[in-house]
Amino acid sequence: MSGSSKAQQTINLEDMSLQQLQKIKTQLESEMDELTTAFTQMKQAQGAFRECKACIGMLRPENQDKTVLIPLSNSLYVPGKLSNIESVVVDVGTGYYVEKSAKDASGYYDGKIDYVQENAKKIQETVEQKQASYRGLLEIMQFKLTQLQRHQQQQQQQEGGSGAPAATSAA
């Protein structure tokens, strides 16, 4: 075996205390929150890439030389003319921009959409596994709580039954 492979360790949750189970529950909740946030971000990125691809689709001959609004910020625009429908400048990340043909840019965004979709699917599968583990953990915690309550009731009954004075009749 290679030194980088990890051996999985199986832990029997039924052997753990409620306090230990509560820590695991908190950890699972935190992991699910982080994964759900990552999934949401992936879906937002995918939407942004689809929007970019749709904009490339608007680069048709009938739109050449038309006046368009160019965003300077989220709420500030200036008018401009669509003079070149053959190429676009693509933000490829970390402040780098690349000029591409409209066809190449469309292919670039297809690849990004597919990549994000694959990662979102993996995240979703992981979330589903964590949710199943979480449900199982809650069942074990509920079982342990029920056992604890029964045990406490039995102790109270034993203490109440043996410590009570016997009733005497006055005749």
Chain segment 95-110, per-residue pLDDT in tens: 999 999 999 999 999 9
164 secondary structure, DSSP code: S
> In whole angstroms, how far apart are CA 143 and each of 13, 28, 68, 139?
11, 19, 65, 6
Handedness of CA 44, 49, 54, 59 (dihedral sign): positive
To 10 degrees, what angle do helices 102-163 and 18-57 make? 160
Distance CA 71, CA 80 (A): 10
Max CA distance (Å), the chain: 116
CB 39 within 8 A of CB 124: yes
pTM over 0.85: no
- pLDDT for 160 equals 72
Give pLDDT, residue 13: 81
Determine which of 1-5, 18-22, 32-36, 87-91 has the lowest per-residue pLDDT on average. 1-5
